[in-house]
Each structure stands twice: as structure tokens, then as C-alpha cells.
Chains A and B, each alone.
Chain A
Amino acid sequence: MPYSGGPMTEAMYYVLLALMNPSHGYKLMQEIADVSRGRLKMGPGTLYGVLTRMQSDGLLCVAEDDGRRKIYRITEEGRQALESEYQRLCSMVRDGEGLEGSESRG
């Protein structure tokens, strides 16, 4: 389904985040692991599917293509979508801050 501005999947979010620095397929997998501090180890199938879909949605594009490897970068539209998702996630965390207080009281 084309991206319509709603909540992103975890895979979409981290791919866009990692593509703040242009990168290609396999290296991108490692950068996603780095940016998530080892929490998210994305499979090649998941990555490829997300890259293909977001490219057709205009959230990222091919920066270089030497015939063997494609280097992807985030587009302006992708940056805005990423920023919007980040703000949404921050709002959600802020809304849940009361949970931390109740835990320590418990």
C-alpha cells in the first residue's frame, strides 16, 4: 500500500533513519543495526521490500547505480515523513511518561 502519511512500520522508520547517510543494501543492514544499537537486525528480504516500496512512494531514491549496486538516499519528502514520524513517536513517549512515575511508586 503506498505510504499515506500514517504511522510507519518499524522497518520503514529505521531504513529512513539509516539513509540520512546514503548507503547500499548490505551496508544499510549493518547501519540499521548500529542506529538501533543492535536491537534491530533486519533481514535482507524485509530490507529489500521496504526499499522497493518506499522508492516507489518517493520517500527515498537511488543516488548512484553502477549496474551492480544501488546507493540509496533519503529524499526531501522522506525527511519530512521521517521527521513527522519522529514527532509522533516523541509525543507517544511524552504521553507515557506518567508510567515511569507509577513504576517507581509501585
Chain B
Amino acid sequence: MGKTAIRFRFLDVHCIGEHESWFSDMAAKGLHLTELGRLFAWFERGEPEQIRYRVDMVHGSITEEQRELYADSGWETVCQQGDMCVFRSPEHANAPEIHTDPAEQAYTLKELTRRSTASAVITTLLMAAAIVLMSFAFFWSNGTLLKLVEGDMPTAPILILLYLYQIFRSVSAARSLRRLVGSLREGRELHHRANWKRRVRPQKAAMLVVGLLTPMLIFLPFVQFMMSSNTSLPSDSGDPVFLRLSEIENDPRLERKTSFIMDGVDWGNFAARKWSLYAPLILSTGEHGVVPGREWADGISGEYSPSLSTSFYRLRFPWMGKALAKELASKQQEMNDIYGPMTEMRDTRVFDRLYVRDSSMNEIVACRDGVVVYVRYSGDQDMVTCLLAVRDWLERIH
């Protein structure tokens, strides 16, 4: 006998026949079970042998009396994990089966069935409650897609998937066990050569998905945090990803109007960058300008000080664009209802979707090729000028 080999234990505790079959197949390859844990099984490498393995449910630790009774009948105790006790006997020994009465064997599964059912009920209730709470926070108000794209509660969809998987697993286990007990009570013997590979394949796939999703719960918020930044807008308009006030105003006298500065950022002229799983680039900008010596067109509002706010979303999945544009327009309409409705402009050749509101401020929501923008301009330029600026903006960033 030699080195130890460790294998991941993909089988649930209720897969009794599959466990027995798996251990026997491993022994035939020279891997002999020595220890069983919740997640792993330890095997000792040796010569291939034809060994029968049997699993018996033992409530509490196996007694010496039981161990000896089984040994006298040719069954060596291998290990115990929880209530699952494993015994082995070489094929050639022709030891009598441990359980010869299926109805009596059903009784040994009573405690496991009770616990499995209770676990399924509790898991379902807890997970369902968590899903309802998260869904309430996420889906109750308008703007679900916007929340998703902006990375609010980034882990909510992942958690909901994982919770649903847990419910499915615990309910499946309880049902499988009840079916097994029912079958035993009807006198049908347990199938000791159950196909363990058929159980393991979907389990492996599921574990792979869970293994990929679970680290995201930790890394996703961390990455989002690390990739967010707030800076002052550059004084020149060099970076094409920003729409600048000067592109709409087109007045060479336009100057920056500095607002309050905190942590080195001019919060009247700022650029905030974010990242989310669904939008690798999210930008928000605010810009305030002043034209010395010029007054507002109404003649009563004093020195001309136009302003521009933008939101920019470059989507990972372009097909989300139109729906996001619609939600953005809806959100802006709700927020500033007194300015009237955001109107959808159809038959535009330039934009995939376009909404405008022409009031004391010009507001535009536009979508093109997976980029969604919101622009709010306060100044004397008209909506056409704003739309042309937005068109040029979207064209250059593509």
C-alpha cells in the first residue's frame, strides 16, 4: 500500500448506491477508500481489487457490537462520516449482504430522511425570503436595468442564482431520499451498482458554475470600487470621450466657472468614472462655464453661465442599449416631471433611440451601437445645436 489520493466527493449523502458503486470502481483501479469527509474522499493507492463496498446509516458513532457483528459476517469497517458508515468485503469472500430485508433497511434511513426534509423546508424558506427581499429592493421601483448597469447591488443576481441552486439541491435530495425509502418499503432492494457517473456529471457542471460565481461575490464589489475615480474635468477638451460645454456653446469667450473644491476635485467641473459588469465604462460629468460680458438671452438672469451634465454608458451587451435608454428617459421624466414629458423621436437615422425634452433645459437621452448617453444642457443654445453636438460625440467615440 502506498500514497494517498484525494478525490472531490461530488455525491450527496442520499446517493447510497452511487457511493457504493464509486468506491468499488475506485478499488478496481487500485484506489482503496480510507477516509470520507463532507467534501473529499481519501484513498490509498494499491493493487486493483474487486471489492464490494456497502454504506449503512448509523446514528451516532458505530458501536463495537455492530462493528464486530459485521466483521463476523465478513464486512470490515472502513470509515464513518456523519451518519454514513462504509464497510468493505472482497468479492471472493462472498459475504452475505449487510441488509437482506429492504423494509428494515428503510427504517435505517428514517433519521436521514427526517433531517433531509427539515433541511429542504428550512433552506427553501430562508432562501426564498432572501430572494424576495433582494427582489423587493431591486425590482420594486422603476429602473431595474439601470441599477444593474450602474452596478448597484452587483451581487444580487448572482446571489439569487446561488440561492435558487441551493433550494433545488436540498429539495432534490429530500425527494430522492423519499423515493429511495418508498422503494425499499415496497421490498425493492437498493441498487448497489447505481451509475455514479450519471450523478457526478451534472454535479461537476453545477460546482464549476458555483465555483466561478462565488468568488465574484467578493471580487465584483472590490473591482467596482477600485475602478471608480473622481477627477476634475480637464481644462482642455482633448479627451474625445467627454462631451464638453464648448462643443455646444461654440463661444471662444467661454471660461470655466470653478465651483467648490474638495479632495482636489472641482465638483462643479468633474468627471466620475465607474466600472460595472454590464458597462465597462460609465462616465458622469458636470461642467459650469461663464461668458464674461454676456448676459442670458432673457435679459434678466444676469451674467451668462451655461452648464452641462452628462451620463455615458458603454455597454458590454449592446442589445441592452434601447431598453436602458428607455429607462433613463423614464427616470428623468419622473425626477423632473414639472418640465413635461421626455418625448421619443422616431425615424432618426443617426440614433438607435432618441428621447428629448425641450424646456428651460435641453435634455437628451440617446442610444447608438451599445452606447447610451444622457445630456442636460442649460444655456441659450437650442435643441438642434445640442442634438448635433451629441451626434458628433457618439460618432467620434465609435
Whole-angstrom distance between the alpha carbons of A1 and B108 in the complex? 11
Known: A9-B104, A53-B107. A47 touches B68 (CB 8 A): no
**Interface-centre pick from A26, A45, A53, A68 (highest chain B CB count, 10 A):** A45
Tell me how far the C-beta of B128 lies from the nearest C-beta in chain A, rounded to whole angstroms. 32
A37 vs B72: C-alpha distance when bound (angstroms): 21
When A45-B105, A49-B107 are in contact, do A26 and B69 touch as well, CB less than 8 Å?
A: yes
- Whether the pair A45, B107 counts as a contact (CB closer than 8 A) is no
Contact residues in B for A41 (Cβ distance below 8 Å): 96, 100
Q: Which residues of B are found within 8 Å of A29, using beta-carbon distances?
A: 73
CB of B101 within 8 A of CB of A25, answer no
Interchain nearest-CB distance for A95 vs B (Å): 23
Q: Is B98 in contact with chain A by the CB < 8 A criterion?
A: yes
Do B64 and A45 touch across chains, with their CB atoms under 8 A apart? Answer: no
**Complex CA–CA separation, A47 to B97 (angstroms):** 11
B101 → chain A, closest Cβ, in Å? Answer: 5
| Residue ID in chain B nearest A65 by CB atoms | B65
Residues of A within 8 A of B66 (CB): 44, 48
Tier of interface size on chain B: 20 to 34
Residue A43 is within 8 A (CB to CB) of chain B in the complex: yes
Query: If A25-B65, A26-B69, A69-B68 touch, does A43 touch B103 (CB 8 Å cutoff)?
Result: no
Contacts of B99 in A (CB 8 A): 43, 45-46
Pick from A50, A69, A70: contact of B104, CB under 8 Å: A50
Are B68's CB and A25's CB within 8 A? yes
**Closest residue on chain A to residue B56 by CB atoms:** A45
Q: Considering the chains assembled together, what is the distance between the CA atoms of A102 and B69 in angstroms?
A: 46
Query: Is A10 in contact with chain B by the CB < 8 A criterion?
Result: yes
CA distance A1 to B103 in the complex (A): 12
Bound together, the chains give a CA A53 to CA B54 distance in angstroms of 21
Q: Does B75 contact A (CB under 8 A)?
A: yes
Q: How far is the CB of A55 from chain B (nearest CB, A)?
A: 11
Size range of the interface on A?
Answer: 20 to 34
Set of chain B residues within 8 Å of A10, measured between Cβ atoms: 101
Closest to B59 in A: A52
Task: Kindly state the separation between the CA atoms of A69 and B66 in the bound complex, as whole angstroms.
Answer: 10
By the criterion CB–CB under 8 Å, are A25 and B64 in contact? no
Whether, in the assembled complex, B138 has its beta carbon less than 8 Å from a beta carbon of chain A, the answer is no
Q: Residues of A contacting B101 with CB < 8 Å? A: 9-11, 42-43, 46
- Residues in B whose Cβ lies below 8 Å from that of A49: 104-105, 107-108
Q: Is the interface of A mostly helix, strand, loop or mixed?
A: helix
CB distance from A21 to the nearest CB of B (A): 18
Tell me, yes or no, whether B70 is within 8 Å of chain A by CB. yes
Contact between chains at B65 and A26 (CB < 8 Å)? no
Given the known interface contacts A9-B101, A9-B104, A10-B101, the answer about A45 and B65 at a Cβ–Cβ threshold of 8 Å is no
**Cross-chain contact A26 with B73 (CB below 8 angstroms):** yes
Interface residues of A in 8-24 (CB under 8 A from B): 9-11
Whether A68 contacts B68 in the complex (CB less than 8 A), given A45-B108, A46-B105, comes out as: yes
In angstroms, how far is the closest chain A Cβ from the Cβ of B114? 12
Residues of A within 8 A of B70 (CB): 44-45, 48
The one of B72, B75, B103 that contacts A9, using a Cβ cutoff of 8 Å: B103
Contact flags B62-86 to A (C-beta < 8 A → 1, else 0) = 0011101110110100000000000
Least distance between B206 CB and chain A CB atoms (Å):
32
Asked whether A11 lies within 8 Å of B104 as measured between CB atoms, the reply is yes
Contact pattern, B 101-126, Cβ under 8 Å of A = 1, otherwise 0: 10111011000000000000000000
Picked from A42, A44, A45, A70, the residue with its CB within 8 Å of the CB of B72 is A44
A68 near B64 with CB under 8 A, answer yes
A52-106 residues with Cβ-Cβ distance < 8 A to B are 53, 68-70
Q: A25-B69, A68-B68, A69-B68 are in contact. Are A43 and B107 (CB under 8 A)?
A: no
Compute how far the CA of A64 lies from the CA of B98 in the bound complex, rounded to whole angstroms: 25
- B103→A48 contact, CB < 8 A: no
Find chain A residues with CB under 8 A from B96 CB. Answer: 41, 43-44
Which A residues are within 8 Å of any B CB, using their own CB?
Answer: 1, 9-11, 25-26, 29, 41-50, 53, 68-70
B interface residues, Cβ below 8 angstroms from A? 54, 56, 64-66, 68-70, 72-73, 75, 96-101, 103-105, 107-108
Q: Can you show 15 pairs from A to B with CB atoms below 8 A apart? A: A1-B107, A11-B101, A25-B72, A26-B68, A42-B100, A43-B73, A43-B98, A43-B99, A44-B70, A44-B96, A46-B101, A46-B104, A47-B69, A48-B65, A48-B70
4 A-B pairs with least C-beta separation: A45-B98, A26-B72, A43-B100, A25-B69
